[in-house]
């Protein structure tokens, strides 16, 4: 019995020592990471990631790991071996994503280890889906290197030029993007009657740098199209941490929409200029009052209205007796000048714009500065008009030169009195003396 107890106590003691050793190992790993400066694996962090990876012409294999992750710990010897084999050919790095959560979040890291290949386009790294042996890692690196060389031979951009405008410090810097801080945010954004789209960025963030020219271009375009009613701003979240914390910023770039008196909402759209502009125009349409809808009474109305606006929308409506109502165009995309005329009242205008081939009602958008126009070819409905104008606003519409190269002659007409049309009054015919039985069958 004593022998059995002795053996049992010995096993408990040995197990306790193993557990203590394991805990000590984990504690050391959590402080020091899985790689040391003597390894050929480059230790990456938010402070050096942009410089080492994003601005580099080299191909990079980057592992995002957590020190407590068993799979990550088992990968260490093969990752080191691959790094040594690829030294001078392909760069191999590692990010402690448990410590640097923002960097992992920037690249959508959800599990460990995650390996990404930063190749010809550094802004769009590829996920590594291969094996975890050193040989599999090296083979994947060589294949990626061949692709990088082919891209360069074909003249494709490497995407590593992440230069910023001087003094920008990050996400967006052109004059039409407002620099927002802890001190001016409430007064500039929250107390404004305008709609604000605000980018929270970090200077080291590659995605933020990629967004910068698109954000700046969208700001310039929206300044003109919305007359400053939708504005774009940018916050350096690494400097103005109180502001970033207030809005729960966890990754970069994060874009939020602010409307007076409402809770901010996340922007979930694309990152291109056209995507940003399209969403901003929707916001503008939702918040703007109905524009003035002018009847085209004479030539001065057409010229003044169209020459003073980037786009002039002309609706050619059926005769009032055919419709009974004026379609609610004034409620749709409040961005341009709006005119309407009755079908047949301005035939030279209809001819110069090719209106009539699709029937009435019809709609055309004119750019009087370029003397180009586009026709609504979809449905004359809220949805159809909305899509037509949104496509035009982001440059996707099909255009043609205005017939004659100038605005056509406009006939002077009497203004609509605002009343529904009245059918002409006809004389009453007394049919009381007509005997239907007297009509022959062949006359029926």
| Residue 105 parent element (H or E) | helix 101-106
Q: How far apart are CA 105 and CA 250, in angstroms?
A: 8
4 CB-contact burial (10 Å; exposed 0-12 / middle 13-18 / buried 19+): exposed
What ranges in 177-260 are assigned the alpha helix state H? 185, 206-225, 241-246
Residues in a beta bridge with 401: 372
Q: The pTM is what? A: 0.38
Catalytic residue at 306?
A: no
Cα of first residue to Cα of last residue in the chain, in angstroms, is: 124
Q: What is the mean pLDDT of residues 400-408?
A: 84
Strand order in the sheet with 177-180: 177-180, 230-236, 195-201, 254-258, 265-266
328-334-337-343 Cα dihedral, nearest 10 degrees: -20
Give whichever of 15-24, 376-385, 408-417 has the largest mean pLDDT: 408-417
Neighbours of 394 (CB within 10 A): 16
Active-site position among 25, 69, 306, 312:
69
What pLDDT shows up at residue 242? 92
* Residue 208 bears catalytic tag: yes
Position 420 confidence tier, pLDDT thresholds 50, 70, 90: low
Greatest C-alpha distance within the chain? 134
Q: Helix 134-153 and helix 70-85: axis angle, to 10°?
A: 60
User: So what's the pLDDT on residue 130?
Assistant: 84
Catalytic residue (choose from 25, 208, 306, 312):
208
Catalytic hit among 25, 72, 306, 312: 72
Order of strands, sheet of 312-317, starting from the edge strand that comes earlier in the sequence: 293-295, 337-342, 312-317, 362-367, 372-375, 400-401
- How far apart CA 192 and CA 180 sit, in angstroms, is 13
pLDDT band at 384 (very low <50, low <70, confident <90, very high): confident
Q: How far apart are CA 309 and CA 289, in angstroms?
A: 17
Backbone angles phi, psi at 145, to 5 degrees: -65, -40
Mean of the pLDDT values across residues 412-434?
67
Q: Which of 324, 314, 428, 319 is nearest to 376 (CA)?
A: 314
Q: Please tell me the predicted confidence (pLDDT) of residue 18.
A: 36
Find residue 232's DSSP bridge partners: 177, 197
Q: Would you report the helix, strand and coil content of the chain in percent, each value rounded to 5?
A: 40, 15, 45
């Amino acid at each position: 019995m004593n022998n059995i107890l002795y053996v049992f106590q010995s096993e408990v003691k040995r197990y306790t020592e193993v557990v203590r050793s394991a805990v000590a190992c984990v504690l050391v790993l959590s402080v020091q990471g899985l790689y040391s400066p003597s390894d050929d694996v480059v230790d990456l962090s938010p402070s050096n990631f942009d410089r080492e990876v994003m601005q580099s012409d080299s191909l990079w294999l980057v592992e995002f790991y957590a020190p407590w992750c068993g799979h990550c710990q088992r990968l260490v010897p093969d990752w080191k071996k691959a790094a040594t084999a690829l030294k001078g050919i392909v760069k191999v790095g590692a990010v402690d994503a448990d410590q640097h959560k923002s960097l992992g979040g920037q690249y959508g890291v959800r599990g460990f280890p995650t390996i990404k290949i930063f190749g010809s386009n550094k802004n769009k790294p590829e996920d590594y889906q291969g094996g975890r042996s050193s040989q599999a890692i090296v083979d994947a690196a060589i294949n990626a290197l061949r692709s990088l060389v082919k891209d360069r031979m074909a003249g494709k951009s490497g995407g590593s030029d992440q230069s910023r405008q001087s003094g920008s410090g990050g996400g967006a810097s052109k004059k039409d993007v407002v620099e927002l801080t802890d001190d001016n945010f409430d007064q500039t954004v929250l107390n404004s009657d305008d709609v604000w789209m605000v980018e929270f960025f970090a200077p080291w963030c590659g995605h933020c740098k990629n967004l910068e020219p698109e954000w700046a271009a969208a700001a310039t375009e929206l300044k003109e199209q919305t007359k400053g009613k939708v504005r774009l701003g940018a916050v350096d979240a690494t400097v103005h941490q109180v502001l970033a914390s207030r809005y729960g910023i966890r990754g970069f770039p994060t874009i939020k929409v602010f409307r007076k008196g409402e809770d901010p909402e996340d922007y979930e759209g694309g990152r291109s200029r056209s995507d940003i502009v399209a969403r901003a125009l929707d916001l503008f349409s939702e918040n703007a009052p109905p524009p003035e809808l002018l009847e085209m009474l004479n030539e001065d109305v057409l010229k003044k209205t169209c020459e003073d606006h980037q786009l002039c929308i002309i609706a050619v409506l059926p005769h009032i007796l055919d419709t009974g109502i004026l379609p609610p165009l004034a409620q749709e995309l409040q961005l341009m000048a709006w005119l309407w005329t009755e079908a047949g009242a301005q035939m030279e205008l209809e001819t110069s714009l090719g209106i009539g081939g699709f029937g009435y009602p019809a709609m055309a958008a004119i750019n009087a500065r370029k003397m180009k126009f586009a026709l609504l070819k979809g449905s004359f409905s809220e949805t159809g008009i909305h899509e037509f104008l949104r496509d035009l606003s982001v440059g996707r519409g099909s255009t043609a030169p205005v017939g004659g190269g100038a605005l056509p002659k406009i006939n002077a007409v009497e203004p609509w009195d605002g009343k529904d049309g009245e059918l002409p009054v006809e004389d009453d015919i007394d049919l009381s003396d007509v005997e239907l039985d007297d009509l022959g069958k062949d006359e029926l």
